[in-house]
Chains A and B, each alone.
Chain A
């Protein structure tokens, strides 16, 4: 089975999970990803790891899969020199470290470009390389707080909500930018810098709300809107069922669905209050929402699920994580995969969100132990002898 990105070599200098995922997306399709694990305390700025000691590191399993690890002391000149030499043999560098750190370590764009003039140098940051906040820490919560969505996610009067997913847009953007830059390099021989940020990621995730505000303005989009004050009672709405779970409807073109939907909620199709799209979404929308609120409270979630299924409505129950975990489609599509961890045995992990018929993503290797492949990398890529590698290990320049 051929690999789509075979032959591309990536040096991974990331420290945060989302940055690691950006590199893993390339490794999943066959790029050779060499992860540089710095010895000493991690300079990561994200929230601390909350795992119980001695338990499986699920986030590393996702972010570091399909990578080889070189553990190196970046505080030493010899260690930095090793990484720079590796970059000389690579196509791509990806990092999410602070600019000041990279400069201090001689791993900034200018220094590494001197080693490899056609290098693609991708950096993820908190707020982008330009502007007054370019050196703020890369913390997803800070970026989300700046994006304008936190106050309007909850119901009126409730505290702002940190959703936690913004960083995942950023991870994919880094990978996308790297691929675009590789295409350009293939045509012209030119490398370049790629940048993506948590602010850009969170903003992109808020695309439609943000763009609507930019175009429409006004006050309505700056404050939470009650769920019973939607523009269309049948689209983007949620109602509680009799036994607790919520239902959600997305039927923007209400004319199409009304004849089927109305009887399910015990409304006459020709009810004069709701018999046109304009009445449903205009003058009588608030009344209709109250009517639907009462209707959905009259039957349990299982009843609604069966109804939606039977009539193929664009509507569903709002589930918890145990729903996808029990859904065979999720495994069949490899969105979740069963992996056999060398230390912890069988585990379920997030898999691959992209399907490719000819060159599918593969799990070639579990997340490496720190420094697991150091000797092999130094020997294969830099031609170091066994004695030289032993000397580096004895000097504490590399570990593992």
Chain B
């Protein structure tokens, strides 16, 4: 099976999540990704031991999944000899990707100016906290940057604490945008021969992530796009969360008379009045009396289980009634569609010598699908082979590099 990005070589000098996941997308589609790590401890992501106060278990899923399909090379970039190896690698690579601080790249002489002088065709990619023209210089993490965007303070019921979108949600987006930027830059290089510098930042990514409400807020400055809104006063009560007898449902019905009639007709006889109530007779009336309509639907929907409602509503799809139970992660892990589309996949984990379930491919390519050829590498496992086969060092030179501390 061919891979879309076969023949591309990427130097992946990244740690934690935003940078590694960018390279993971390229590796999934066949790029050769060489993860360069410090000899002592490697990527800090290798040290993750607990998530949400739970021990991570017997395999470090945090590191192993986002570093799948990669090679690992241990290199001490604090040494002159280590940097010489890096320069030789840069000569033979298409992409250099880093999320280390600018001061590190400066100190280790791995700046854009330096590396593009070595390889003018190089794509020099960074993932940062605040972007190439940032005035903020302090360390950046996903949640502290998400806090600045305004995304968090608009979620949840009024008066509740702000809500973070989920662990690494912004990192994931920055990583994806960086991967896109790299492919765009490579396309340009393949047509013109020119390399360039690209960047995706947590701040920029998360502002774009907020588009569904932020773009509307920029246009109107209407606080309802920026502040917490109660489900009890949903602007369209038919497009809202409702609690059935046993669990929550997400109901998605457009505020149109025909669709409302279909929904109202599905309610129990005790609630038959909802459909004929003058307060709910038109779209405008339903909006005006949103609180009353939410309350009426709350009472009606609480009478039956989510399964009963889904059985009633599924046949009404052609009348614009759509709904879904609000699933848990356990439900998702069993979701037939998630498996059928390779959003979830099984793969062998060498660390525990068994098959494990991992996040799969969020993009399908019919002819060149992404593949998992192996989970994250052991620290430095490919160092000597890369030096010998790719970079042309002989075994005596490799011995000398060890003696100098450039490699472990």
Q: Which residues of A contact B4 (CB under 8 A)?
A: 180-181, 183-184
Distance (whole angstroms) from the CB of B111 to the closest CB of chain A: 13
Judging by beta carbons under 8 Å apart, are A148 and B207 in contact?
Answer: no
Distance (whole angstroms) from the CB of B50 to the closest CB of chain A: 5
Q: Which residues of B contact A58 (CB under 8 A)?
A: 215-216, 218-220
Q: A154-B163, A322-B150 are in contact. Are A128 and B337 (CB under 8 A)?
A: yes
B387 close to A (CB within 8 Å): no
Q: Find B241's partner among A55, A162, A210 (CB 8 Å cutoff).
A: A162
Q: Find A250's partner among B112, B137, B143, B338 (CB 8 Å cutoff).
A: B143
Q: A55-B220, A159-B248, A321-B225 are in contact. Are A314 and B201 (CB under 8 A)?
A: no
Judging by beta carbons under 8 Å apart, are B197 and A211 in contact?
Answer: no
Judging by beta carbons under 8 Å apart, are A179 and B184 in contact?
Answer: yes
Q: A149-165: which residues lie under 8 A (CB-CB) from chain B? A: 149-155, 158-165
| Residue of A with least CB distance to B340 | A131
B61 close to A (CB within 8 Å): yes
Judging by beta carbons under 8 Å apart, are A359 and B185 in contact?
Answer: yes
Judging by beta carbons under 8 Å apart, are A160 and B241 in contact?
Answer: yes
Please report whether the interface of chain A is mostly helix, strand, loop or mixed according to DSSP.
mixed
Q: A142-B322, A192-B365 are in contact. Are A172 and B239 (CB under 8 A)?
A: no
Judging by beta carbons under 8 Å apart, are A207 and B359 in contact?
Answer: yes
Please report whether the interface of chain B is mostly helix, strand, loop or mixed according to DSSP.
mixed
Q: A2-B188, A56-B219, A199-B337 are in contact. Are A148 and B328 (CB under 8 A)?
A: yes
Q: Mark B236-254, 1 if CB is under 8 A from A, else 0.
A: 1001010100001110101
Q: How many A residues, CB 8 Å from partner?
A: 150
Distance (whole angstroms) from the CB of A160 to the closest CB of chain B: 5
Distance (whole angstroms) from the CB of A358 to the closest CB of chain B: 3
Q: How distant is the Cα of A355 from the Cα of B127 in the complex, in angstroms?
A: 10
A62 close to B (CB within 8 Å): yes
Q: Mark B193-208, 1 if CB is under 8 A from A, else 0.
A: 0111111110111011
Q: Find B160's partner among A158, A230, A327 (CB 8 Å cutoff).
A: A158
Distance (whole angstroms) from the CB of A369 to the closest CB of chain B: 18
Q: How distant is the Cα of A231 from the Cα of B167 in the complex, in angstroms?
A: 13
Judging by beta carbons under 8 Å apart, are A148 and B25 in contact?
Answer: no
B353 close to A (CB within 8 Å): no
A365 close to B (CB within 8 Å): no
Distance (whole angstroms) from the CB of A179 to the closest CB of chain B: 4
Q: Find A212's partner among B154, B167, B210 (CB 8 Å cutoff).
A: B167
Distance (whole angstroms) from the CB of A260 to the closest CB of chain B: 12
Q: Find B139's partner among A130, A196, A314 (CB 8 Å cutoff).
A: A314
Q: Which residues of B contact A62 (CB under 8 A)?
A: 211, 215
Distance (whole angstroms) from the CB of B375 to the closest CB of chain A: 11
Judging by beta carbons under 8 Å apart, are A209 and B143 in contact?
Answer: no
Q: Find B144's partner among A29, A168, A222, A314 (CB 8 Å cutoff).
A: A314
Q: How distant is the Cα of A319 from the Cα of B200 in the complex, in angstroms?
A: 21
Q: How distant is the Cα of A144 from the Cα of B141 in the complex, in angstroms?
A: 24
From B4, B177, B239, name the one whose CB has the most chain A CB atoms within 10 angstroms: B4
Q: How distant is the Cα of A43 from the Cα of B299 in the complex, in angstroms?
A: 32
Judging by beta carbons under 8 Å apart, are A146 and B161 in contact?
Answer: no
Q: A146-B335, A154-B156, A208-B166 are in contact. Are A176 and B176 (CB under 8 A)?
A: yes
| Residue of B with least CB distance to A349 | B218
Q: How distant is the Cα of A211 from the Cα of B66 in the complex, in angstroms?
A: 10
Q: Mark B163-188, 1 if CB is under 8 A from A, else 0.
A: 11111110011001101110111111
Judging by beta carbons under 8 Å apart, are B57 and A215 in contact?
Answer: yes
Judging by beta carbons under 8 Å apart, are B156 and A161 in contact?
Answer: yes
A200 close to B (CB within 8 Å): yes
Q: How distant is the Cα of A329 from the Cα of B137 in the complex, in angstroms?
A: 12
Q: Which of A133-141, A267-275, A379-387, A391-399 contacts B (4 or more CB under 8 A)?
A: A133-141
Judging by beta carbons under 8 Å apart, are A132 and B336 in contact?
Answer: yes
B5 close to A (CB within 8 Å): yes
Q: Which of A32-40, A70-78, A80-88, A330-338 contacts B (4 or more CB under 8 A)?
A: A330-338
Q: Which of B70-78, B128-136, B268-276, B393-401 contacts A (4 or more CB under 8 A)?
A: B128-136
| Residue of B with least CB distance to A204 | B362
Q: A224-262: which residues lie under 8 A (CB-CB) from chain B? A: 225, 227, 229-231, 236, 238, 240, 246, 248-250, 252-253
A64 close to B (CB within 8 Å): no
Q: Which residues of A contact B367 (CB under 8 A)?
A: 184, 190, 192-193
Q: A212-B62, A214-B61 are in contact. Are A353 and B166 (CB under 8 A)?
A: no
A294 close to B (CB within 8 Å): no
Could you list 9 examples of A-B contacts with CB < 8 Å?
Answer: A141-B239, A142-B323, A151-B326, A153-B156, A181-B365, A231-B54, A248-B147, A324-B203, A353-B205
Give chain A's interface residues, CB within 8 Å of chain B.
2, 4-7, 17, 21, 25, 29, 45, 47-48, 50, 55-56, 58-59, 61-62, 127-134, 136-137, 139-142, 144-155, 158-165, 167-169, 172-177, 179-184, 186-188, 190, 192-197, 199-201, 203-216, 218, 220-222, 225, 227, 229-231, 236, 238, 240, 246, 248-250, 252-253, 281, 285, 308-309, 312-325, 327-330, 332-333, 335-336, 347-350, 353-359
